[in-house]
């Protein structure tokens, strides 16, 4: 099995995971507030949830395509356009999450975990965008990987809850665990994978991404 086939297999699994999460999250966009157990007062709770879900879905839908070398090489304008769409999606996800955490329903004691996620998610995405604007493609790639790892926290969180429930944790316990683990584990794995690239050093490439 070649390295290219392994990369394609990993990318395909990533895309499938994002699609499965998207199907699971669609009700948050279209279901009535009563079915989502949201209170009509304040209305910001419903609006924030829908903005957060929509932004996260956009980021998850566009994110995997940003890592296809063939797309960057053959259709650079499409890569750039979907990249800006990804940034808009992250912005919606962050704003919705922050507002939702501040509502009375909120996320209780787990609010700090989600605030931290929102801050790091925003920062990594902004860094990826800044380096792209400066044509520092190596740094852009690394920060984009970090950003998408945090976007993928939505999938990790959903996958982690039934696993912890199966292991015997109470809902109040496993939600606190996944509130932190869903993004910290993703980020640690990504940093470990980036170590060889970061250790290579050298100046940033001043040429179009390939």
Domains of the chain: 3-200 (1.20.120)
Contact between residue 146 and residue 190 where contact means Cβ atoms under 8 Å apart = yes
pLDDT above 60: residue 127: yes
The reported pLDDT for the residue numbered 3 is: 53
Is the sign of the CA dihedral 120, 126, 127, 128 positive or negative? positive
pTM: 0.81
The reported pLDDT for the residue numbered 195 is: 74
Burial tier of 54 (Cβ tally within 10 Å: 0-12, 13-18, 19+): middle
Average pLDDT score over residue span 7-28: 71
Q: Cα(53)–Cα(93) distance, rounded to whole angstroms? A: 7
Average pLDDT score over residue span 5-11: 59
The reported pLDDT for the residue numbered 205 is: 47
Average pLDDT score over residue span 182-200: 80
The reported pLDDT for the residue numbered 1 is: 53
Average pLDDT score over residue span 116-136: 94
pLDDT above 50: residue 201: no
pLDDT above 70: residue 109: no
pLDDT above 80: residue 171: no
CB-based contacts of 152, cutoff 8 Å, min separation 6 = 14, 17, 18, 60, 63, 186
Q: pLDDT grade, residue 154 (50/70/90)?
A: confident
Q: Cα(46)–Cα(136) distance, rounded to whole angstroms? A: 39
**Token pair recorded at residue 71:** 């797309």
Q: pLDDT grade, residue 115 (50/70/90)?
A: confident
Average pLDDT score over residue span 160-186: 79
pLDDT tens by residue, 38-92 = 655 556 677 888 888 899 889 988 988 888 888 888 898 999 999 999 999 999 9
């Amino acid at each position: 099995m070649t390295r290219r086939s392994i990369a394609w297999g990993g990318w395909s699994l990533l895309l499938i995971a994002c699609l499965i999460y998207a199907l699971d999250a669609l009700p948050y966009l279209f279901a009535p507030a009563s079915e989502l157990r949201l209170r009509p007062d304040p209305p910001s709770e419903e609006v924030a949830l829908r903005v957060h879900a929509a932004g996260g879905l956009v980021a998850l839908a566009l994110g995997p395509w940003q890592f296809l070398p063939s797309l960057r090489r053959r259709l650079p304008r499409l890569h750039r356009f979907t990249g800006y769409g990804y940034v808009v999606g992250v912005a919606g996800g962050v704003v919705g999450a922050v507002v939702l955490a501040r509502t009375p329903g909120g996320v209780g004691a787990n609010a700090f975990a989600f605030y931290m996620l929102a801050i790091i998610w925003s920062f990594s995405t902004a860094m990826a965008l800044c380096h792209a604007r400066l044509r520092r493609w190596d740094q852009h790639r690394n920060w984009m990987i970090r950003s998408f790892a945090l976007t993928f926290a939505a999938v990790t969180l959903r996958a982690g809850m039934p696993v912890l429930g199966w292991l015997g944790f109470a809902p109040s316990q496993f939600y606190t665990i996944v509130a932190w683990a869903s993004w910290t584990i993703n980020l640690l794995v990504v940093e470990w994978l980036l170590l060889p690239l970061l250790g290579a050093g050298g100046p940033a490439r001043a040429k179009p991404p390939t």
